[in-house]
Structure 1
Amino acid sequence: MDHAAGSSQDAQSLPGCYRHPDRETGIRCTRCERPICPECMVNASVGFQCPECARGDSGTGHPPAAARPRTIAGGSITADPRLITKLLIGACIAVYLVQLSVGDSFTNHFELLGKASSSGLPPYEGIAEGQYYRLLTAMFLHASPIHIIFNMLSLWWIGGPLEAALGRARYTALYFVSGLAGSALTYLLAAPNQPSLGASGAIFGLFGATAVLMRRLRYDMRPVIALLVINLIFTFGWSNIAWQAHIGGLVAGVITGYAMVHAPRERRALVQYGTCALVLVVVVVLTLVRTAQLT
């Protein structure tokens, strides 16, 4: 993700970000002209500024609210731009430790399940019987050590930079909207008694939003596209993978991510959160349609 497009310079000659020298970038602060990467760039009235110039000083004070530095999506610049990503990873790890401690009885009650079979299964119900919380709780469960390790590494690599670019609130909304969209599509299309679990739907949403962001910044799309293709090959090439969650999350992530980075400044929050609300309406509709089919 450290390549830039839209410049006549050869990629090897691009300077490194002044705060992250290992990240090549073709973007410069419009005030001091220092090179800045997506994590450091602050959306300004014209172009982008580095955090110091956006503050209007060198740390000697705080500007008025209207002049406070903002991310490209309009979010606030924070001291820890990866806080939400860390909290999400911590939550998934904590839940997985509970799974290991309590056993299958815990997982069975919180994984995504449309409708339990009447034979050979413990006496629990599914979403069709009113346990709609499973659409959310399944996003924090994992089936094995390799499952959670792979997902958490992906969340750190993709989620951290995206959180810095969008801001905490918008990033959190994107994550949960994508995850719920993946759960809803799984509920709609998968066998009703086929359980599924994992953060993959939300993470695929982050993949989609990252692609949109890189296109918005005119970065080289090939790395993220290659990574996405590899993940899609795994999605459809391996058994026991809920491809519906991956596709649902990816589509929701692309739609929501586009709204996040392309919303007009004067109606930015309305467009961004309005899009999130519309995606959630689709989630509700898909859930009600499937429930009607199973009851």
Structure 2
Amino acid sequence: MAAESAVTTCFRHPQVESHVRCTRCDRYICPSCMREAAVGHQCVECVKEGARSVRQARTVFGAPVGTVPLVTYVLIGLNVIAYLVELARPEFEYRFAMLGATPAGHLPEGVAHGEWYRLLTGAFLHLTPGEGTFGITHILLNMVALWNVGRVVETQLGRIRYTALYLLSALGGSVLELLLDPMSYSVGASGAIFGLGAAYWVMGRRLGQDMRAVNRSMAGLLLWLVISAGLTSWQGHLGGLLAGGVVTLAFAYAPRDARRTLVQAGVCVALPALLLVLAWLKATSLTA
């Protein structure tokens, strides 16, 4: 009886005899519960507790280091799916494209007539083959730019900040287009991508990178902004550039303490509120 009482078992598997203790909690553990530690072995629960107590490395902008650019992949997928729907049903493009209002005498449509979703849905659509100046080149150029710039920006900002940046840049482009050219009809992710370009430039300055390469990228964007004045919606491009720059400035230069999240979230709430107020005032004037 004395020999039986001396038998020790794993605290997680009482039926398994064990003679090894966890170096952290001092409980007996069986081979399936052992995890190698710097000294001896630890149990599964202590390893998990230790992992929670270790502070995860983060970028200057607050994102976990090593973030996989999943949002960029999802955005590219959404644009491609929307494009395939456009090819199958051409009326889909007109129904969701960015349109402020129609001229007098036409069927009233657009943001000014309550179709507010167009402020964002137009940013996921592109010109189809045989339509406009670019055709299929439109989506190809935008997706290549999104692939190249988006992944870099997302790994620095993290998924939540990056998503906010992308959507607010798209919204900023649509609102400026509504303010300056409400009768125009446009589609494309260019406004959002211009916002990513602005973010890339701001982040480069914040990180102290060699700005020659960063400035060349920004110069290319500005050159395209000038060229686009005669080809596509330069208002949407400029609006996305400005909105993306404002958002990224908040992400990059917010205090690196408990106030950082509050400042960043505050800008991400205040900017769309301002944009929507401007859009509402413009819509009201168009339907007065």
Please classify the TM superposition score into its range, dividing by the shorter chain length: 0.7 to 0.9
Relative distance call for 1:65 and 1:289 in structure 2 (3 A) is farther
Unaligned runs of 5+ in 1: 1-59
Which residue, 218, 224, 231 being the options, matches 2:214?
224
CA contact (8 A) 2:225 2:238 kept: no
TM-score, structure 2 normalization: 0.76
Identity of aligned residues (%): 42
Cα deviation for residue 77 of structure 1 reads 4.0
The match for 1:113 is 99
Question: How many angstroms apart in 1 are the aligned matches of 2:73 and 2:195?
Answer: 17
Q: Check conservation: 2:101, 2:108, Cα contact below 8 A.
A: no
Count how many residue pairs are aligned between Structure 1 and Structure 2: 231
Answer whether contact 2:197 2:241 (CA < 8 A) is retained: yes
Counterpart residue type for residue 167 of structure 1: G
2: CA distance, partners of 1:259 / 1:133: 26
Q: Which residues of 2 match residues 235-254 of structure 1 at below 5 A? A: 235-238=225-228, 239-254=230-245
Give the AA of the match of 1:289.
Answer: L
1:257 is paired with a residue of what secondary structure?
helix
RMSD: 1.8
CA contact (8 A) 1:182 1:202 kept: yes
Equivalent position of 1:34 in the other structure? none
Letter in 2 for 1:141: L
Letter in 2 for 1:207: G
Q: Indicate if the aligned counterparts of 1:204 and 1:249 stay in contact, CA closer than 8 A.
A: yes
**Counterpart selection for 1:203 from 179, 193, 196:** 193
1:133 paired to 2:133: no
Q: In structure 2, what is the equivalent of residue 52 of structure 1?
A: none
Output the amino acid matched with 1:216. R
Q: TM-score, normalised by structure 1?
A: 0.74
Larger Rg: 1 or 2? 2
Give the corresponding residue for 1:289: 281
Counterpart residue identity of residue 255, structure 1? V
Aligned residue for 1:147, secondary structure, equals helix
Conserved in 2, the CA contact under 8 Å of 1:185 and 1:286? no
Q: Residue 188 of structure 1 contacts residue 287 of structure 1 at CA under 8 Å; is this kept in 2?
A: yes
| Paired amino acid for 1:223 | A
Structure 2 counterpart SS, 1:204: helix
Return the alpha-carbon distance in structure 1 between the equivalents of residues 214 and 126 of structure 2. Answer: 25
Q: Which residue of 2 aligns with 1:102?
A: 89
Measure the CA separation in 2 of the matches of 1:243 and 1:153: 20
Q: What residue in structure 1 maps to residue 159 of structure 2?
A: 168
Equivalent positions of 1:148-187 (< 5 A) are 148-187=139-178
Distance in 2 of aligned mates of 1:74 and 1:273: 12
Gaps in structure 2 of 5+ consecutive residues? 1-46, 128-134
Q: 1:66 to 1:248 in 2, by over 3 A?
A: farther
- Equivalent residue number for residue 30 of structure 2: none
| Corresponding position of 1:269 | 261
| Residue 68 (structure 2) aligns with | 81
Equivalent-residue separation in structure 2 for 1:81 and 1:72 (angstroms) = 17
Separation of aligned partners in 2, 1:68 and 1:152? 32
Distance 2:203 2:224 in 1: 24
Letter aligned with residue 188 of structure 2: G
* Amino acid in the other structure paired with 1:268: R
Alignment match, 1:37: none
> How many angstroms does 1:252 deviate by?
1.2
The runs of at least 4 aligned residues of structure 1 exceeding 4 Å deviation read none
CA distance in 2, matches of 1:231, 1:74: 27
Measured in 2, the distance between the counterparts of 1:100 and 1:256 equals: 34
Q: Which residue of 1 is the match for residue 25 of structure 2?
A: none
Residue in structure 2 matched with residue 215 of structure 1 by the alignment:
205
CA deviation vs aligned residue, 1:97-122 (integer Å, no higher than 9, x gap): 1001101x111110011112355x6x
Q: Which residue identity lines up with residue 109 of structure 2 in the other structure?
A: E
Q: Deviations over 1:184-212 (max 9, x none)?
A: 1011101x322011111111111111111
Q: Which amino acid aligns with 1:286?
A: L
Cα deviation per residue 1:100-146 (whole Å; 9 max; x = unaligned)? Answer: 1101x111110011112355x6x561110000000010010011210
